[in-house]
Amino acid sequence: MRLFFPLTIYIVIIIILFAGCISRGGEPPLATTTPTTLAPSTAGTTVAPNSPDISLEAAPGRYNPLMSSTVGIRLSARYNASVPVVYNWTADYGYFVTWNAPDYRVTIDNRNIVTDQPSIYWSYPTADMGTKKPPVTIRLVIETERLIHGGSGGRGTIAWKEIHIGWVGNDTAVAEI
């Protein structure tokens, strides 16, 4: 009996200590931290030195909401993930549209979306047709869940890339890669 009580307390203490190390609790941070030292790269975008290589593809290169063949410009990230990641897309104008398997239902999202899918569509409101629109910057931040001792978790930035959208006339968006 004497040995059982101290052994039980010892096991409970170990469980409590290890429980904090493997917890994924907590909310993600409100702002995504990006590297502070940046170096120029191709196409006028910036990336962190020694960061993983990611690329963005845009198709079609020109888009107008009157096009019936697509719901927007499809933006696809090319990144070989060695760990599970999420894709955090942000646009300073317009909105994102999801259109994925299995149901292929079109969903209009906001200017910011976090998804596990490497592709998303970007569009803008048809109500804005005929008016001058601002140049658009779309930023993709690839993040991973991280574990922190004590149970507080959040997302860690792996890499990021930007794409810019300009305009031909008032209504045709042109991806500048």
pLDDT digits (tens, 9 = 90+) for 59-95: 999 999 999 889 999 999 998 877 889 999 999 999 9
Cβ partners under 8 Å of residue 33, min gap 6: 157
Per-residue pLDDT of the chain (177 residues; tens, 9 = 90+): 555 566 666 665 655 544 444 333 333 332 323 333 333 333 444 444 456 778 999 999 999 999 988 999 999 999 887 788 999 999 999 999 998 777 888 999 999 999 999 999 999 999 999 999 999 999 999 998 655 555 455 678 888 999 999 999 989 999 997
- To 5 degrees, how large is the angle CA 163–CA 40–CA 134? 35
Q: What is the pTM of this model?
A: 0.66
d(CA 14, CA 18): 6
